[in-house]
């Protein structure tokens, strides 16, 4: 065996034994203790392209599928694709004092409302200001489609999402609504 062949075999063996699997990814971004550790999967989710549903070109088939989807949503208590009732155990309608906050990654102000009278009054009062700053609303309480319509009417022109908001307590430290959360403050 020549020296060149021996060197090639050693290089191959070294490469095989020291190779790091390409598909291996870290599971933890930063470990600041048991309560603060976050899974990497939360951040990797955006890299996976979701499956897209494409309606067929045939107008008759397209109309039938769309109607079927609407019928299913209505049968399950949905309003505009939203399932009701919406209930959030960790948030209640009440007055709070404004406070300074620091949410540097909150690029769009977020307001939290319910379908209760206090929220509807607050929403009507602050609608123009919310529109001006481009705030997005999170409806955390509504018992039925009529209550969702009342919120939509009180906040005409505003963008809303409607779903339980129990995570908001952990993320922003709030336990009351209506409230506006911006990069620098939590206020009513």
What integer pLDDT is reported at residue 59 of this predicted model? Answer: 80
* Buried-state track 96-106, b at ≥16 Cβ within 10 A, e below 16: eeeeebebeee
What sign does the dihedral 68-69-75-80 (CA atoms) show?
Answer: negative
For 7, 67, 118, 119, 163, the CA distances from 152, given in Å and listed in that order, are: 74, 23, 15, 12, 14
**What confidence score (pLDDT) does residue 111 get?**
95
Instruction: Return the closest-CA partner of residue 188 out of 130, 134, 140, 103.
Output: 130
Hey, CA dihedral for 18, 19, 21, 24, is it positive or negative?
A: positive
The whole-angstrom separation of Cα 152 and Cα 115 is 10
What's this model's pTM, rounded to 2 decimal places?
Answer: 0.58
- SS3 state of residue 175: coil
> Mind listing the pLDDT tens digit of every residue in the chain (188 residues)?
677 677 677 666 555 555 555 565 666 656 666 666 667 676 666 666 655 556 667 788 877 877 776 666 566 555 556 677 889 999 999 999 999 988 888 889 999 999 999 999 999 999 999 999 999 999 999 998 889 889 989 998 899 888 888 888 888 999 999 999 999 999 98
Give the contacts of 180 (CB within 8 A, at least 6 positions apart).
109, 110, 111, 126, 130, 135, 186, 187, 188
């Amino acid at each position: 065996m020549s020296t060149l062949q021996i060197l090639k075999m050693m290089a191959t063996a070294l490469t095989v034994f020291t190779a790091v699997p390409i598909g291996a990814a870290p599971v933890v971004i930063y470990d600041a203790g048991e309560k603060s550790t976050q899974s990497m999967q939360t951040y990797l989710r955006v890299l996976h392209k979701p499956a897209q549903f494409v309606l067929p070109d045939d107008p008759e088939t397209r109309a039938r599928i769309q109607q079927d989807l609407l019928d299913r949503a209505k049968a399950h208590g949905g309003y505009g694709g939203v399932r009701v009732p919406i209930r959030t155990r960790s948030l209640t309608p009440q007055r709070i004092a404004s406070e300074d906050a620091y949410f540097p990654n909150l690029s769009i102000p977020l307001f939290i409302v319910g379908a209760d009278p206090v929220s509807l009054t607050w929403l009507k009062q602050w609608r123009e200001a919310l529109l001006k700053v481009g705030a997005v609303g999170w409806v955390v309480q509504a018992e039925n489609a009529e209550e969702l319509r009342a919120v939509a009417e009180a906040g005409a022109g505003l963008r809303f999402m409607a779903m339980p908001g129990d995570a908001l307590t952990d993320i922003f430290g709030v336990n009351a609504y209506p409230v506006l959360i911006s990069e620098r403050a939590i206020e009513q």
